[in-house]
Structure 1
Amino acid sequence: MVSIALTLVGLLLSTNLESVRAGPSQSSRRVARHRQQTTEPATAWVSLPSVFGSVQGSSKRATAKQELLDAIVPLKRGLTASDEDKAVVEKLAQKVEKLNPNPKSLSSPLVNGRWELVYTTSMSILSKKNPVMRPSGPIYQDIDAPGLRALNAQYIQPIPFLKMPYQVSAELTPTTSSATDVQFKEFTVGPLKIKAPERAQSAIDITYVDDEVRVTRGSKGNLFVLVRAAGMETGFR
């Protein structure tokens, strides 16, 4: 296992590390169907009824979020998104961003906690060209803005029957009220911990956040859409 983990760490270091209840409704049924169409186990993806069943804020903002999440559902976090799909999601994300109720997102308590990544244009995170590192199950990102730290957590399955936890811890250095530099500190692959090199850096701008949805832009122009992982604790120690 250690030799496999070392190989995985080598792959990780060569990868772009940009970075992370109401009754049933039509939208929730779409999410359920999407889950059935994949081999991934059910996760703590926030159910759309909980996001929109008790709408807070304007109906315009709620509708914009609904449209964005509906467009994302069949795209396997962006892995199967065509250029046309990406253009549609980008347009809908911009619509949501314009309605951001918390423009100083890093100082909002809503930014903290565990989030699940439901869409990204970052093919390195999705490992589209590297199936060995492809996420198996959900991808989580934990944020502790007051503590200036973040954690990306997921599982990978490099070979059948071997599912390994993979985490990356990071230190945050805010540059604006919504943006922060990200210095990755440590990789954990299974039992192996490796200090991240200085070059393992990124930056993000949190362009939308409320108690349900977060939209983030990466330093390489990538888009990230996350939903609150309801009822789940962060992995911070």
Structure 2
Amino acid sequence: MIGKAALLQAIAGKNRGLLATASDQQAIGVAIAQLEGYNPTPRPIEASHLLDGDWRLLYTTSQELLGIDRVPLVKLGQIYQCIRTAEAKIYNIAEISGLPYLDGLVSVAAHFSPASERRVDVKFERAIIGLTRLIGYQSPDRFIQDIEAGRKFAAIDFNIGNRDRQGWLDITYLDEDMRIGRGNEGSVFVLTKG
């Protein structure tokens, strides 16, 4: 699809948005809007077979996520949003690297509920911040299995009160391997699966 190719070309080399200039952001925004106009899945919340899985972030305007890279001695690695539709759960996982033996992750687990045919309400429930070697982190899927099994980690691991962190996410484009979402704070997210 020409729209997907144009978007992928626009975000290439932008390091998930960290290297995007104001004019890059504008061009990427136009490419995103054009692709959203051709959304092949107009009711994405009902397409659990497409939504379910581990999604890797390609581009975002979220300063909260991109800000992780601005912490001294820390570099932002891969960022995943893993959706488990059967459990109505979302797991956000940001891998970080730093000094030798100080690779880590920042993760948030949330529960979601459908609000419309393309919007989910999100209630954040748990945060885990720690070193990958102490947590035993190998992959998003394995980490999520440990969380779902009730494992407590040798990390900063705490429950988030329901009223503290809530939001929503509109899924504005969804196909077999690409998803675009827009969050309640005005951020856009472009993700790929597989």
TM tier, smaller:
0.7 to 0.9
Match of 2:37 among 73, 82, 98: 98
Match in the other structure for 2:61: 121
Q: Which runs of 4+ in 1 moved over 3 A?
A: 132-136, 157-161
For 1:133 and 1:114, how far apart are their aligned partners in 2? 28
1:220 corresponds to = 185
**Letter paired with 2:160:** A
Q: CA deviation at 1:176?
A: 0.5
Kindly tell me the number of residue pairs found equivalent between the two proteins: 168
TM-score (norm 2): 0.80
Gaps of 5+ in 2: 131-153
Percent identity (aligned): 31
Q: Which amino acid aligns with 1:118?
A: L
Give the 3-state SS of the residue equivalent to 1:162 in structure 2.
Answer: coil
8 Å CA contact retained: 1:143, 1:151: yes
TM-score of the superposition, structure 1-length normalised? 0.66
Computed over aligned residues only, the root mean square deviation of the Cα atoms, in angstroms, reads: 1.8
Deviates more, 1:150-159 or 1:208-217: 150-159
Please state how far the C-alpha of 1:116 moved relative to its aligned partner. Answer: 0.3
Asked if the contact 1:126/1:135 (under 8 Å) is kept, the reply is no
Within-5 A mapping of 1:175-186: 175-186=115-126
**Following the alignment from structure 1 to structure 2, what is the Cα–Cα distance between the partners of residues 208 and 174?**
16
Q: 1:157 aligns with which of 89, 93, 97?
A: 97
2:27 equivalent in structure 1? 88
Matched, 1:210 2:175: yes
Residue 158 of structure 2 is matched in structure 1 by: 194
What amino acid does structure 2 have at the position aligned with 1:188?
Answer: I
Q: Which runs of 5+ in 1 are unaligned?
A: 1-61, 231-237
1:107 aligns with 2:71: no
Report deviation, 1:154.
2.4
2:108 corresponding residue in structure 1: 168
